[in-house]
Structure 1
Amino acid sequence: MSMIGEYLRVTAAELDRAIQDPDWALDFVEAVQDSEEESEPAPAEARYFSTYKTWDLLRFLLARAEFPVNVIHGEEPFAEDEDWGYGPPKYLRPERVRLAAEALRATSYAQLISGVDPAELSSAEVYPLGWSEPSSLEWGRPWYDGLTQFFEAVARADDAMLVWLD
């Protein structure tokens, strides 16, 4: 089974409801995923976004860059329910989304991978394993670019975000 990073854009009212009723939030996530599955909107127009298996690569690179917001795992838990996948889901409030969007915009993927030896990823057991090729670092570029676009759109709307690994 794969572990994938997932994100859902939510309004302030939806965030409040998710915090109060995590079961509703899980149903809401599934409904949005289903509705966007066929249309596959661009990250800037989507309510749902996934970094797929690149989440741990991005976590490693962003931690190395001392990124100011935990965009990979979220920051504030709102449910204990294991139906969400690996660990409790968390959220980012609009002000944290804005800070993350600014930092993502200011940090290019080239900056993130500059000076990184793929052997570091192997030593750190970054998921999914298989970092022997120097070009393997390029695998994360399109997901990072999409994540940046997604965060920028959510920040422009002054929305919050649910974050989880599934």
Structure 2
Amino acid sequence: MSMIGKYLRLAPAQLERASRDPDWAAEHAHGLYARDDAAAAARVHETDKAWHALDFLLTRRGFPVDVVFGEADMPWPAGRDWGYGPPRLLSADRVRAAADALDAHAPDVLAGGVTPADLAAANIYPQTVWERGEDPAWVGSHWAALAGYLRAAARDGDALLIWVS
């Protein structure tokens, strides 16, 4: 089983409801992921197995917002696990800050100067990919897709729930 980075856009009213009702948040997220239509697809996003490499590369480049793990815990009781821990929040203000910083962190240069051996040595998931010597440039395509998703969320004033499952 793979570890996949997942995202859910929440409008302000949805964020308020999710903050009070974690069961609703989980049902809402899983319901959108189960649907196969454009409206649902616009609300969710996945970075597949690139999430850990994205974190490594963005941190290395000094990206100012944690768009891989989120920046705040949800105010839920302990034990709300959506895969590999509970989802974390990226507030609408921080989504906007991320969108504002995107131009300085282009996908085509994200992995510049980083070798597969660097990622393997740093124990970046999925480590077997780096041990085989695969070029980390493929992570840039996931960054480009995430950047588009962040821009859309910022445009609409949405917050994000972020988790790995």
- TM-score calculated relative to the size of structure 2: 0.90
CA displacement 1:94-151 (0-9 Å, x = unmatched): 1100111122233112332111122110000100012146652122122111100000
Aligned counterpart, 2:163: 164
* Structure-to-structure mapping, 1:60-71, within 5 angstroms: 60-71=56-67
- Partner Cα distance (2:69, 2:113) in 1: 25
Does 2:121 align with 1:123?
yes
Structure 2 counterparts to residues 12-23 of structure 1, below 5 A: 12-23=12-23
Give unpaired runs (5+ residues) of structure 1.
none
Which among 103, 106, 110 is matched to residue 105 of structure 1?
Answer: 103
Aligned equivalents of 1:105, 1:77: Cα separation in 2: 28
Contact (CA 8 Å) 2:5, 2:164: kept in 1 or not?
Answer: yes
Any idea what SS the aligned residue of 1:91 has? strand
Contact 2:92–2:157 under 8 Å retained in 1: yes
Which letter maps to 2:135? Answer: S
Q: Which residue in the other structure is 1:49 paired with?
A: 45
Aligned counterpart, 2:68: 72
SS at match of 1:113: coil
CA distance in 2, matches of 1:21, 1:70: 24
Secondary structure of 2:152's match?
helix
Structure 2, unmatched stretches of 5+, are none
- Matched-pair contact (CA < 8 Å) for 1:105–1:148: no
| Contact 1:5/1:72, CA 8 A, preserved across alignment | yes
Q: How does 1:25-36 map to 2 (within 5 A)?
A: 25-35=25-35
Contact 2:92 2:159 (8 Å CA) reproduced: yes
Question: Which stretches of structure 1, 4 residues or longer, exceed 4 Å deviation after superposition?
Answer: 132-135
Using the size of structure 1 for normalisation, the TM-score is 0.90
For the structure 1 residues 118 and 77, does the alpha-carbon distance in structure 2 shift closer, same or farther, using more than 3 Å as the test?
same
**Percent of aligned pairs sharing the same letter:** 43
Supply the distance in 2 between the matched residues of 1:11 and 1:105 (Cα, whole angstroms).
Answer: 24
Deviation (angstroms), 1:42: 9.6
* Aligned-residue CA RMSD (Å): 1.9
For the residues of structure 1 that align with 2:53 and 2:126, how far apart are their CA atoms?
Answer: 8
